[in-house]
Structure 1
Amino acid sequence: MNSLILKQLIWDEVGEDPFEREKVLLDLEQECLEVYRRKVDSANISRARLHQELADSEAEFTHLLLSLGERSLPGRPEKMAGTLKEQLDSITPALREMQLRKEERVKQFQAVQGQIQKISAEITGQTEYNGSSSHVTVNENDLSLKKLEEYQTELQRLHNEKSDRLQRVERYISRVQNLSATLGMDSSMIITKVHPSLNELSGLSKNISDSILSKLHSTVESLEEEKKMRLEKLHHLGKALTNLWDLMDTPYEDRQMFSHVTSLLSVSSAEISTPGSLTSDIIQQADAEVKRLDQLKASKMKE
């Protein structure tokens, strides 16, 4: 206002035309209106921005509550009052706490789901599985404790299944080792042939897939069949030896050399577990002895 009075005095002294004065005053008024309008527009924009920030914060807070399966956050007022800035300041700490809760819950889901994927891969024999948690996809729309418990239950079920499969694998391996020892075979080679990871020296996690369990089962059956066949051969050879000994009145001392063969005559396959009792060498030696005695018998009959 002081500037306007000063301007009037100057105009009076100069003798400025009234119309020119009016024009200047109108221009000044217009400039003032423009400045005022800009200030109002800026205030409106600021208010709209605060409204949007508040709405976004409330929407995110509500979404976090729903996704985490929580009804409310202790300490946050149900109804907010005050200016927009005060309301925004009121919800910001609560929102940050919910964001931190979400981050922690996501980590829990990643850990559990990662273990589920890892054990599932082990059960299916996927040796190329990448166990990085970064490959785990978490449904962030449902991070409730109920959902987490469902995953934990599934993880426990898989742990139990893995443990059961490992026990079955160990039982098969033990059976292969026992049968191999009885038959005089290299159990390590047989087991490695089924899968390299089954060999303790490999340093690999044992493959516990259905296909490996099936191969182990077939291997045990094959060794059992080989055991029966060898025992049948030794039964046949043992009877032949006994008949030839009796026929030729073989001394007791000579018979003792093959007592380990004749002692099996009344033994079933299931009863034999002594290491080295059914080796191929024993069968070959017994077979050679039967042939030798047959030749000896034939030569005596010619005399």
Structure 2
Amino acid sequence: MVRPVLEELRSKKELQIKEFSKVLFQISQISAEIAGCRPSNEGREQEVNNLTVKKLDQLKSHLQELQNEKILRLQKVTSHISTIHELSVVMSIDFLKMLNGIHPSLGDSSEGMPKSISNDTLARLTEVIHSLKLDKKQRLQKLQELARSLVELWDLMEIPIDEQKDFSHVTSLIPLSVDEVSKQGCLSVDVIEQAEHEVQRLEILKGSKLKDLVFKRQNELEEIYTGVHMDVDSDKAKQILTGLIESGSISLSDLLQSMDDQIRKAKEEALSRKDILDKVEKWHLAAEEENWLDEYERDENRYSALRGAHKNLKRAEKARILVSKIPSIVENLTAKVKAWETENGIPFLYDKVPLLQSLDDFNAQRQQKEEEKRKSREQRRQQEQLAAEQEALFGSKSTTKKPFGQTTNNNSITGTPIGRRVLTPSSRYGSLSAKERRESGRVNKVAPVNYVALQKDDSISGNN
């Protein structure tokens, strides 16, 4: 009766021992993997002496903890390997060689070997990642400095856009942070060396071109000043620049920077003068039209039927409107100039002359011209009045009178006698309106009253 029970207990014991052995083996294997060494059989027999279910449950619980830790460590190893791969791709580093250097199970030579999850492996992976990230940061900073130097040299020497495109992959790194850089090979040693060689080449080229660039900047500065009618001594400025370059007392880069600052200030000053210069242009245009109108009105044949006369008439009408606005134009311009001078604390020069002085001179000349016109009109009026009185008292001195429009030459053209043209209304523009001048032009074709009277007198004397 006891034998079957004993056999059953022995069978259960063997099964329990196998179960314990299996659990202990797995615990030993995972512990060895974590420790980074080979599994050990020490202590396994002592553990087997305790075959209680409680002990087995404790071992299984411990095994489960080790298995979970192994899973986490494998995930860490995989994540570290992925990070190393990304960094290696960006910097063109041999990825497999680096992994083999950490542990053979991680590289290409593992041949089915389980990946090492030991503390040492994880620590070395972490160290390599830190080193690669630091290297990536340093390489990015190096390339960003080289890219900025390239951009500065390109702008300085005005390198064509086509040549700049060869290093666009370098200049595109300027605004990026370390985490944003992920393009394959963009931080490789070859890229850095190419950028360094290009910077060195441009630095050598810069020395031979900077002098030309300095004088080009000076010409640009002079064009800005000339465009806004500001005084600039070109010869003296170029002599100063030549002296600075030859003396070597200032670097050409600093000199160019100084020239750029002067150009920027000149543009700002030119912008502040723009409104006044626009008004000056309008003033000059009105003054030119006034001079043309004076010459036009002195022309006694301006109402003739010559080709283009109607165009001159239209221009004269527009000119009179513009000339009538000259006082308000000058007044507004003067107010603008005074406000500008108050704000800037310096006189507003226009072609080396204070603009206010030019405006005062213009007003004085215009007043003088108007006074001369007034005196001329008064003098002509008195002469015409005197001539009319003399003709009324004494009559014409000619002995032979002919009808109006006829001369002794049969081929001559009828019209106003040449001797009488000075008395036509067209010669007295200053005292007549446009309507009166047009009416005077028509009246000019009618014989004067005193001329008819003289003809009548001659016929009476002939009868006598």
Q: TM-score, normalised by structure 1?
A: 0.67
User: Is 2:133 the counterpart of 1:221?
Assistant: no
Cα drift, residue 237 of structure 1:
0.3
Find the aligned partners of 2:129 and 2:50 in 1 and give their Cα distance: 48
Runs of 4+ in 1 over 3 A off after TM superposition: 133-136, 138-141
Deviation of the 1:301 alpha carbon: 3.7
Cα shift at 1:106: 0.5
Change (3 A) 1:134 1:211: closer
Q: Is the 8 A contact 1:110 1:138 kept in 2?
A: no
Provide the residue aligned with 2:154 in structure 1.
Answer: 245
The corresponding residue for 2:236 is none
**Partner of residue 121, structure 1:** 32
- Amino acid aligned to 1:112: V
| Cross-structure match for 1:260 | 169
Cα deviation code 1:103-137 (max 9, x no counterpart): 111011001111100110011101x336xx89842
- The answer to whether residue 6 in structure 2 is matched with residue 98 in structure 1 is no
Asked if the contact 1:165–1:208 (Cα under 8 Å) also holds between the matched residues in 2, the reply is yes
Q: Secondary structure at the match of 1:250?
A: coil
Q: Which runs of 5+ in 1 are unaligned?
A: 1-89
Q: 1:183 aligns with which of 91, 114, 118?
A: 91
Higher relative contact order (CA 8 A, sep 6+): 1
8 Å CA contact 2:100–2:109 kept in 1: the answer is no
Counterparts in 2 of 1:227 and 1:96: CA distance versus 1, 3 Å: same
Find the counterpart in structure 2 of residue 211 from structure 1.
120
String of CA shifts for 1:161-184, please: whole Å, max 9, x gaps.
001001100110110111000001
Inter-partner Cα distance in structure 2 for 1:250 and 1:212: 51
Larger Rg: 2
Encode CA deviations 1:245-303: one digit per residue, 9 max, x unaligned. 00011111111000011111000111111111100100000000000011111122467
Measured on the aligned residues, the alpha-carbon RMSD in Å equals: 1.7
Q: How far apart, in 1, do the equivalents of 2:62 and 2:43 lie?
A: 19
TM-superposed CA distance for 1:138, in Å, is: 5.0
Q: Aligned residue for 2:196?
A: 287
The question of whether the paired residues in 2 share the 8 Å contact of 1:182 and 1:273 is answered with yes
Q: Which amino acid aligns with 1:222?
A: S
Aligned to 1:235: 144
Per the alignment, residue 18 of structure 2 pairs with 107
1:207 CA drift (Å): 1.4
Give the one of 138, 144, 164 matched to 2:72.
Answer: 164
**Cα 1:189–1:141 shift into 2, 3 Å:** closer
Letter matched to residue 122 of structure 1: E
Secondary structure of the structure 1 residue equivalent to 2:84: helix
Gaps of 5+ in 2: 213-464
Q: Deviations over 1:51-79 (max 9, x none)?
A: xxxxxxxxxxxxxxxxxxxxxxxxxxxxx
Partner residue, 1:40: none
CA shift for structure 1 position 142: 2.6
CA 1:284 to 1:155, structure 2 compared with 1: closer, same or farther past 3 Å?
Answer: same
Q: Count the aligned residue pairs.
A: 211
Matches within 5 A, 1:26-37: none
